[in-house]
């Protein structure tokens, strides 16, 4: 796709994040600067596959939720773990932004939703049946199963009156939610949006990826020639987006901009990416074109980099195709927090903003022997950026659902 006149960038005035690294941007900063891995043992339930590590949030979610205004006892009973992660991240983002979000909407990427709660009901029913007890259960917790529950709870807590949509495009869900929320602002549908994604660990997701034999026994090693697979994680990342006019009018501090967005579908295979990376290439090129920039303008690429054999090989080739001889620093941050599934684009949007505001590039943890499928400037250790005006963040999902976002630093916007 040829370069075009850039569209109006959308301001980012708040960011909230939670994951295996902890809660909040300060915790993320500590993990990224000190190289703290999020690799750990699964403790949310007993599993015969417990030897495979996960990126689990180790904090006290109940305590975290106590900091969120409006959390009534009735509301607390209607929360899944995914909902709770989203609320904590959104509260942080809204607090930092200072925007009146009562007229805002919310676009949220999800996949697991309330499955963890539904699984617990099923496990209890099975236990009772085997013991010969009644299997009549209080099914009230099952109401949290659907994805719309997160949006409903966000609307409850923040009294949102704008459009709310849940996106489920596998691991590109949050990135699509952010890109489409920015589009909604540009189209004049609203001035303020909450956008991002949230997903918790669940048995079906963890066991499913293990059954596909794509989970590593020692954690992910993105873009390493001896990588063995991914690590399932959980978390949430939420941005407060505003039209530039609205943000400037209220004197908001602008953290950065969503300046480009690309979305494509491989239509190749249920789980495997197109071997030539056609969809990934199309998404990256579209994002760059929307931002009105070329390959040489990008100072860092936050790769999807799941550490599976297919993804890293294909993504490396796709990056090489788009950027050619331009040596853009690349890293995947999956070893810090695991693959947070539908939340990945939201959590990694926070990483991208961290890079832009701090002038630092996060390390590609776990790298020992760089893959030879394509020549990439892989960031082996956290380092200062030479020039960082724009960051490209990739999120690629099952079914060939690809999304790419361009984030621009606050000093380089209009």
Q: E-assigned strands of 162-254?
A: 164-167, 192-199, 235-242
Closest CA to 277 of 221, 309, 308, 320: 320
Query: For this structure, is 304 an active site residue?
Result: yes
Beta-strand pair 192-199/105-109: parallel
Residue ranges with strand state E in 201-320: 235-242, 256-265, 298-302
- Give the chain's end-to-end CA distance (angstroms, integer): 24
pLDDT of 2 strictly over 50 = no
Going by C-alpha positions, the residue among 202, 203, 181 that lies closest to residue 192 is: 181
pLDDT confidence tier of residue 146, bands split at 50, 70 and 90: confident
Give the residue with greater pLDDT, 1 vs 141.
Answer: 141
From 91, 263, 274, 304, the catalytic residue: 304
Tokens of 402: 């690809």
Q: At what angle do helices 203-211 and 115-131 cross, to 10 degrees?
A: 90
Has residue 333 been placed in a domain? yes
Element (H, E) at 108: strand 105-109
Domain assignment present for residue 2? The answer is no
Q: pLDDT band for position 142 (50/70/90)?
A: confident
Give the integer Cα–Cα distance in Å for 263 and 267.
Answer: 13
pLDDT in the model for residue 269: 67
Comparing CA positions, the residue from 325, 86, 367 lying closest to residue 226 is 367
Q: Does any domain span residue 76?
A: yes
Q: Regarding beta strands 22-23 and 377-378, do their DSSP bridges make them parallel or antiparallel, or are they unpaired?
A: unpaired
Q: Name the residue among 11, 19, 17 with its Cα closest to residue 36.
A: 19
Question: Which of 28, 29, 37 minimizes the C-alpha distance to 335?
Answer: 37
What are the φ and ψ backbone dihedral angles of 18, each rounded to 5 degrees?
-155, 145
Classify residue 257 as left (phi > 0), alpha (psi -120 to 50) or beta. beta
> Is 310 inside any structural domain?
yes
Residue 288 pLDDT exceeds 50: yes
pLDDT at 244: 96
Distance CA 277, CA 71 (A): 45
In a domain, 4, yes or no: no
Q: What digits encode the pLDDT tens for the residues 304-337?
A: 999 999 999 999 999 999 999 889 999 999 999 9
Indicate whether 78 pLDDT > 90: no
Rounded-to-integer distance, Cα 399 and Cα 274, Å: 10
Confidence bin at 52 (pLDDT 50/70/90): very high
Judging by DSSP bridges, how do beta strands 164-167 and 298-302 pair with one another?
Answer: unpaired
Q: Three-state DSSP class for 194?
A: strand
Q: Which residues contact 272 (CB under 8 A, 6 or more apart)?
A: 310
Residues 6+ away with beta carbon under 8 Å from 386: 299
Q: Is residue 386 part of a domain?
A: yes
Verify whether residue 171 is a known catalytic residue.
yes
The per-residue pLDDT for 315 is: 95
Which entry of 91, 171, 246, 390 is annotated as an active-site residue?
A: 171
Q: For residue 276, is pLDDT > 90?
A: no
190 catalytic? Reply is no
Give the domain CATH number at 102: 3.40.47.10
Cβ–Cβ under 8 Å, residues 137 and 124? yes
pLDDT tens digits, 212-232: 999 999 999 999 999 999 999
CB 190 within 8 A of CB 101: no
Tell me the CA distances in angstroms from 388 to 62, 238, 392, one per residue in order. Answer: 38, 22, 11
Helical H segments across 110-172, by residue range = 115-131, 148-158
Q: Are 379 and 54 in contact (CB under 8 A)?
A: no
pLDDT of residue 4: 63
Of 91, 246, 263, 339, the active-site residue reads: 339
Residue 121 within a domain: yes
User: What is the C-alpha to C-alpha distance for residues 247 and 16, in angstroms, rounded to an integer?
Assistant: 18
On whether the CB atoms of residues 186 and 10 are closer than 8 A, the answer is yes
Mean pLDDT over each residue of the chain, to the nearest integer: 94
Assigned domain for 414 exists = no
- The residue among 27, 373, 58, 24 whose CA lies nearest residue 222 is 373
Q: Is the pLDDT of residue 399 over 90?
A: no
What pLDDT, on a 0 to 100 scale, did the predictor assign at position 51?
Answer: 93
Output the pLDDT for position 1. 45
pLDDT tens by residue, 250-273: 999 999 999 999 999 987 666 667
Selection from 48, 28, 50 nearest residue 38 by Cα = 28
Q: Does residue 382 register a pLDDT over 70?
A: yes
Q: Is the pTM of this model over 0.85?
A: yes
How many structural domains comprise the chain? 1
Q: Structural domain of residue 171, as residue ranges? A: 10-409
Q: Average pLDDT of 45-61?
A: 96
Q: Model confidence at 375, in pLDDT bands (50, 70, 90)?
A: confident
For residues 148-155, give the mean pLDDT: 92
Closest CA to 182 of 382, 13, 384, 389: 13
Half-sphere exposure (Cβ direction) of 336: Cα atoms closer than 13 Å:
31
| Other CB atoms within 10 A of residue 95 CB | 14
Q: Which residues pair with 10 in a beta bridge?
A: 258
């Amino acid at each position: 796709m040829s370069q075009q006149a850039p569209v109006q960038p959308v301001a980012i005035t708040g960011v909230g994040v939670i994951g295996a690294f902890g809660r909040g941007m300060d915790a993320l900063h500590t993990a990224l600067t000190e190289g703290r891995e999020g690799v750990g043992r699964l403790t949310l339930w007993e599993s015969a596959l417990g030897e495979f590590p996960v990126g689990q949030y180790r904090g006290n979610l109940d305590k975290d939720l106590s900091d969120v205004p409006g959390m009534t006892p009735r509301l607390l009973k209607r929360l899944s773990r995914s909902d709770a992660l989203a609320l904590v991240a959104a509260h942080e983002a809204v607090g930092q932004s200072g925007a009146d979000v009562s007229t805002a909407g919310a676009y949220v990427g999800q996949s697991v939703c309330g499955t963890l709660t539904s699984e617990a009901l099923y496990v209890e029913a099975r236990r009772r049946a085997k013991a010969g007890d009644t299997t009549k259960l209080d099914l009230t917790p099952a109401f949290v199963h659907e994805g719309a529950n997160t949006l409903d709870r966000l609307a409850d807590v923040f009294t949102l009156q704008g459009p709310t949509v849940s996106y489920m495009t596998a691991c590109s869900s949050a990135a699509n939610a952010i890109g489409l929320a920015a589009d909604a602002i540009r189209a004049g549908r609203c001035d303020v949006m909450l956008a991002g994604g949230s997903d918790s660990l669940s048995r079906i997701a963890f066991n499913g990826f293990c059954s596909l034999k794509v989970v590593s026994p020692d954690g992910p090693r993105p873009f390493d020639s001896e990588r063995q697979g991914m690590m399932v994680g959980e978390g949430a990342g939420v941005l407060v987006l505003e039209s530039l006019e609205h943000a400037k009018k209220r004197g908001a501090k602008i953290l950065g901009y969503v300046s480009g967005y690309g979305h494509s579908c491989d239509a190749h295979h249920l789980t495997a990416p197109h071997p030539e990376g056609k969809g990934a290439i199309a998404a990256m090129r579209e994002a760059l074109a929307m931002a009105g920039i070329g390959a040489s303008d990008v100072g860092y690429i936050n790769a999807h980099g799941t550490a599976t054999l297919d993804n890293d090989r294909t993504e490396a080739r796709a990056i090489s195709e788009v950027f050619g001889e331009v040596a853009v620093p690349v890293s995947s941050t999956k070893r810090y927090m695991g693959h947070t599934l539908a939340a990945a684009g939201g959590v990694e949007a926070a990483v991208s903003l961290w890079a832009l505001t701090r002038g630092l590039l996060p390390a590609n943890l776990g790298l020992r022997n760089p893959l030879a499928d394509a020549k990439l400037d892989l960031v082996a250790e956290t380092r200062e950026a030479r020039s960082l005006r724009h960051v490209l963040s990739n999120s690629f999902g099952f079914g060939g659902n690809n999304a790419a976002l361009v984030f621009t630093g606050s000093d380089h916007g209009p």
